[in-house]
Each structure stands twice: as structure tokens, then as C-alpha cells.
Chains A and B, each alone.
Chain A
Amino acid sequence: MVDNSEFDDIPGTTVFTAERSHQGFHLNQFCMSLMKPENRKRFKANERACLDEWPMTEAQKQAVLDRDYNAMMANGGNVYFLAKIFATDGISFQTAAASMTGMTEQEYAAMMLAGGRSPEGVRSIKEGR
């Protein structure tokens, strides 16, 4: 039996396992549909109607409508698939990543320019390192 509990010990990180892939299948496949310009256009015109065409959970749909990327990942979304949503919105990967951290876009950009987020203290919760 696989045991992925050790991943829960890494703070602020979601590991996209086969289980999460199963949970997020329709959400992520919806994201893939945004690789076609006609689907991006339809989504922009009526997001709710587009989402309703997919057998996604209400929580998944609401997370997309809210552009809450952490909620999308908690419901099985994978960031490389979710990237199709923020690409459709014309938003960069850095801006999208910043939105997941609770920092402002400016604070996040400044952190990256200063060398990024240090691994000190965010490697392991139980080991406190």
C-alpha cells in the first residue's frame, strides 16, 4: 500500500498523485479544452455555461469561477493544466503563482528578484527545518 502521508509534512505544497489525478480528471480535462481558441472564446463569453458542460463538482466549478488556484488544487487541479486558465486570462505564471502565496504580486516579484523563497523552515513541518 502506498503511503503518501510524508507529502503532508511539506508545507504549502500539493503533490499531484494518481489519486489526485483521478479526483481532478474532469477539471484538468476542461483546462485542456482551453488550448483551442474557439473554446477560450466560449469560456470568456459565459464561464458558468462552459463549466456546466463538464461533470465537475460544484466546488471545482466555483474554484474556477473564483480563480482560486489553491482551491482548484485542493480539488484535484494540477498547475500545468490550470495554466491554461490563466493563459486564457492573459496572466503570467508569476502573477498566478503569487496569487497562491497570500503575497501581493509586487511582494512576490520582489522576493523572486532577491533570490526567491528560502527553503529554510519550509522543508518539513515535523522536523521544523
Chain B
Amino acid sequence: MARITAGLTTSHVPAIGVAIDQGKEQSDYWAPVFAGYEWTKKWIGEERPDVIILVYNDHASAFSLEMIPTFAIGCADQYPIADEGFGPRPVPTVVGHPGLACHLAQSLILDEFDMTVINKMDVDHGLTVPLSLVYGKPAAWPVRVIPLAVNVVQYPPPTGERCYKLGQAIRRAVESYEEDLNVQVWGTGGMSHQLQGPRAGLINQEFDNEFLDNMIDNTAQLRRISHLEYLRESGSEGIELVMWLIMRGAMGENVRELHRFYHVPASNTAVGHLVVEPT
């Protein structure tokens, strides 16, 4: 049977992708960011997951304002890299796992999570930057990826509570899939940041570090954070953190922290990164 073996969260700042693509990982500015992922690179080489359910948000790349799905799951064979206005990132095409993805789509909808099904989609930095941070620059990604896109662009995103419950449903669905697969769930985006308006540049280190603490053993607190509180405390784009709760819900009640990293800044954003395993 398929099983969820670990969870990971990370910010997905576009400038990190640019730094990788331009070979600036060792510059004074970027070296401290990439240092936080060295442990993870070694760990993933040992874990070798078969599939990652990668929770992220599209940034006006695949979804325009014509249609705005709250939760969408990719069931395609593969996902080309989006051109976000400066040409596609020079990274390999992302290969999907339509078997597990179709099983997830059906299971989740019958479990009362009304997913939008995607059969064709380009993926942007929200999905590819986490892969680059963890896998570096391979000729082909050594893992299959199921994109799970969450709307956090147009208000309101789903609530933290709803995201956590979706994670729980993902766990139930994965565990009912017959093929023997090592599956990880990644939640991306965050941490505190605001990219717009006169308040741009907001970073709340106290909020972020408390959030990292509570991801381990106090999810009840995180699930109660209102949208207004996210907006005030973590900046208008910090609300992406609801996506971390999908990963956390998929881990079950208790987790062990394997790795934690926090760094300010990467461009406009506080970088947060966690690796956990269910216990």
C-alpha cells in the first residue's frame, strides 16, 4: 500500500529560483539561504520518495482571472514549466503520477473535498523552486510530483482549518491506494511577507517562529488563525501559510521534527523550512 513517510515545508520565493538558475548559490547574499537546505538534500537522497504531493499556489501563471479554483489537483502525465514573463526556468519538465492523482481526486471529492481536476497545466516557481531547493539541478527530477494548487491570490483563500482537514483526507486517500509507494507531502509558500503597497517588506519574525513551533505540537492554535490576523501579522502574502497546514494535516496527530531552518531575507520574504515525519 502507499504510505506517507514524511512532510516538508518551504518558502517558494521566485528570486531563489533566479539565484539557482544564474549560479549565485555561493554569493554572500544567497549562501546563508542555501545552507539551510544542505541537510535536506542529503536526507532526500536517503529517503528517495516515489511521489511528492506538492501543495503550492499558482501565481497568475496557469490560472488567470477567468477561473479561480480553491483547491485543484493535477492528474496529467507531465507539467511544462511556465513562462512567467522572463522565459521558462531552465529546469526539467515535471512528471506526474496520474494513477495516484486520479485516485486522490476521486477519493477526496467523495470525502467531501470538491477538488477541481487539472489535465493540462504549466507549473510556475511556486512548484519548481521547492524542487530546486531540495533536489538541486538534476537533468531530470528523480521523483514524480502531484501538484495540488490552492488559491491564495484572490481573497479569501480557504481557511487554515479547512486546509488541515484536506490534509487529513489526503492521508486517508493515500493509505487506500494499492501500489506500494513512498509518498511525501510538501506544503510551500510563506513565511511572513508583503509584496505590495506602502507596507511592502513586512516581516514578523516572532509570528513566524511561533508558527514553526506550533507546526510540531500545537496545530489547534494554528488552525484558529483568522485571515485578518494573517493579513495583519504576517503581511498580505503571508496568508500562504494556510498551505503548510495541508501538509501538517496529512501527517496525522503527532510528528517528530527532523530539520528546521529560518532566515531573513530572501528578496522580500522570510524563508522558513521544516522537515517532519509522522510518529
Q: A residues touching B (Cβ–Cβ < 8 Å)?
A: 6-7, 10-18, 21, 24-25, 28-29, 31-32, 34-37, 40, 69-70, 73, 78-81, 83-88, 90, 92-94, 97-98, 100-102, 108, 111-113, 115-119, 122-124
Contacts and interface: CB of A to CB of B under 8 A. Distances in A.
Contacts of A84: 60, 84-85
B214 interface: no
A50 B129 CA distance: 32
Given A35-B83, A69-B196, 11 more contacts: A17-B155, A21-B65, A32-B60, A36-B83, A80-B60, A84-B85, A87-B86, A93-B267, A115-B205, A116-B268, A123-B233
Contact of B154 (A36, A78, A116): A78
Chain A, interface SS category: helix
A11 B154 contact: no
A112 B265 contact: yes
A97 B84 contact: no
A9 to B, nearest CB: 9
Given A6-B228, A11-B199, A119-B204, A29 B59 contact: no
A113 B30 CA distance: 12
A97 B154 contact: no
Contact of A35 (B18, B65, B84, B270): B84
Given A87-B85, A119-B204, A119-B233, A16 B60 contact: no
Report the contact-size class of chain B (Cβ under 8 Å from the partner): 35 or more
A24 B60 CA distance: 13
Contacts, number: 154
B232 interface: yes
Nearest to B13: A93
A116 B202 CA distance: 6
Interface of B: 14-15, 18, 59-61, 64-66, 68, 82-87, 153-155, 192, 194-205, 207, 228, 231-233, 236, 264-265, 267-268, 270
Contacts of B85: 34-35, 40, 83-88
B206 to A, nearest CB: 8
A122 B155 contact: no
Nearest to B86: A87
A83 B201 contact: no
A97 B201 contact: yes
Contact of B202 (A6, A29, A119): A119
Given A32-B64, A35-B82, A116-B265, A93 B195 contact: yes
A127 to B, nearest CB: 9
Most chain A beta-carbon neighbours within 10 Å: one of B14, B15, B196, B205:
B196
19 contacts: A10-B231, A13-B236, A15-B236, A17-B154, A21-B154, A34-B85, A35-B83, A35-B85, A37-B83, A37-B87, A88-B85, A93-B268, A102-B198, A112-B265, A115-B265, A118-B203, A119-B202, A119-B204, A119-B232
Most chain B beta-carbon neighbours within 10 Å: one of A32, A35, A86:
A35
Most chain A beta-carbon neighbours within 10 Å: one of B82, B236, B270:
B236
Contact of B84 (A14, A69, A87, A117): A87
Given A31-B60, A93-B268, A123-B232, A98 B84 contact: no
Nearest to B64: A32
B189 to A, nearest CB: 12
